[in-house]
Chain A
């Protein structure tokens, strides 16, 4: 079709590209706020935490949609993710991470030693080994610092699963033996982001029993933002748990018309009862909340 288009003069092109690049870099230059973004990845979870030029990705959703979200919220010249966290190895949290590992430089991967013996898990494992990132199995008390942001691990209590899963020499061979027998949702890595006075809690797909254990342990405090557990399932976000963390904002990462009926009326009611404002990715697309460490606001 471009039969009559010509390559415009080289000088003009160089000039235009130079100016365009300058404007692009200036416009994309990071601010001094902490950003929490729940990506619209359909039915699944993918959350970006970003501060200046550092980013943490918690889960990657079910497919490559997470890449579009990263492109929208990371400067175009930044091809590095400082930290990747897989809360638990199920497809709707894990599969998109394979594409992220393929395309970005990932410095550190935080993951449990539990195995979900699926083709997706094997692909994720291969991609992590190929990336050569530092692999870390977390437990309560661990703190990850990203600039002025601080991410504290609240769950699991102690390392779960087998560390051998994440050693390249043994990792591929022991999948069958290391397959997790309990409810894999309850192994979700739970972490709290603190930036000044702003706190946000990310709970993966944990259900009532882990919530109960966390409430009992006394590590929970009030937070401004809660990533609502398990896409708003009725078996998560108990009244007691919500009362303890008392979030002002409840972010639900969920796909439109999903076959699980998420989020459920029960959970929405419980969130309503504590007066939380509900933000849903199926309604609003990417949900972004920014904070300067003192105030926080929902970005549209």
Chain B
């Protein structure tokens, strides 16, 4: 009976998705290429610098401009320029304005701008301040790495180091996702729990997750993690069982329904696949590993299972999108994995102390430098090794399908009802 209800629901959702997908495809090509436009609107992404250019979004338009003056989220501007269509890696059309004439309409972003934009602008101002604290007190790429680990901000990372992170399969540490959410929520629960009734703590923690999600830039991986994390807290509060895999399926379908083109987003694909790997593949791998890798000890073996679960699930996606995947990735992740919580701890402390007492924050920065430097040295060292990455020249979808079919059937066989695996919200401070 339950199977029938669930299948009907899934089929209905898929149908709805197809409808919305077609609508989204048709709405995106109304402005012809190279036509001259004048656009008024609000800057709807935090502008970032790439080489000597500033890149930002104005509603549905991507804008590339001179590095100065620097714009910020929520600025009300007028652009005059020529529309250029560009294809993204995933084959969607983006509308770009290259070096348009830009005029700020109101110097005082105040009264007229919509409330939502004002709220987000003030959250971004806090984020900006935190990034400034990091970059005032730490060298590069340490400062950008901290901003990446703590806030998921990865635009300011030096190109060389970003390439090294990609090559070693560690780029995920600078994407805000499930781990960040669990830390933020855990911290809030512990702190608020001291003063407040449990009934208030859960909604406040969820509000905290939402604020953090906006601050982290609201990219697909963090939104997925925020929804799943919030549901986990609600389930825990109501005393219900929380079935990680079902929640993952429902969350990703819901997100795809709201924004159908999301399924082409690499970040979304990687995030869903990695979460699936950790929820389904890792528990299946663990028993095999404990038998084989006795010498590593229990903790390292668990880490290895998580790393392998995630890496094996994202492997085809990485190969299709980036053309190559590193062999050494699981090893590097195993080594630097334990540094990430330490970096996050020091980064959070640095941000907090920096707001209150800047000279004290200098001392914290010296301490924070140590795990950051260790992380950077390890990543750069492995990046320098002459290992050839696994790469493919042809992009055939068939082997991807075959790979996942094999993986699914193996998980299914080893564990008849993987969906029943109850995932407990892990407390980091235990």
Contacts and interface: CB of A to CB of B under 8 A. Distances in A.
Interface string A177-192: 0000000000000000
A67 B340 contact: no
Given A63-B49, A63-B51, A120-B67, A1 B158 contact: no
A20 B373 contact: yes
B232 interface: no
A71 interface: yes
Interface stretch (B36-44, B118-126, B138-146, B398-406): B138-146
Contacts of B374: 20
B157 to A, nearest CB: 10
Interface stretch (B172-180, B198-206, B250-258, B409-417): B172-180
A17 B341 contact: no
Contact of B310 (A1, A67, A77): A1
A21 B369 CA distance: 8
Interface string B287-325: 000000000000100110111001000000000000000
A62 interface: yes
Contacts of B68: 95, 98, 118-120, 122-123
A68 interface: yes
Contact of A5 (B49, B69, B137, B303): B303
Interface in B351-368: 362, 366-367
A6 B428 contact: yes
Contacts of A20: 370-371, 373-374
Interface string A70-95: 11001011010000000000010001
B178 A3 contact: yes
B335 to A, nearest CB: 12
A137 to B, nearest CB: 23
Taking residues whose C-beta sits less than 8 angstroms from the other chain, chain B's interface range is: 35 or more
Interface secondary structure of B, over-half rule:
helix
Contacts of A17: 367, 370-371
Contacts of B141: 68, 71
Contacts of B51: 42, 63
B274 interface: yes
B278 A3 contact: yes
Nearest to A105: B136
B370 A62 contact: no
A17 B299 CA distance: 21
Interface of B: 49, 51-52, 66-70, 132, 135-143, 156, 158, 160, 172-173, 177-179, 274, 278, 282, 299, 302-303, 305-307, 310, 333, 337-338, 340-342, 345, 362, 366-367, 369-371, 373-374, 426, 428-429
Interface of A: 1-8, 13, 16-17, 20-21, 24, 42, 62-65, 67-68, 70-71, 74, 76-77, 79, 91, 95, 98, 102-103, 118-120, 122-123
9 contacts: A7-B345, A24-B369, A42-B51, A62-B52, A64-B156, A98-B68, A119-B66, A119-B69, A123-B70
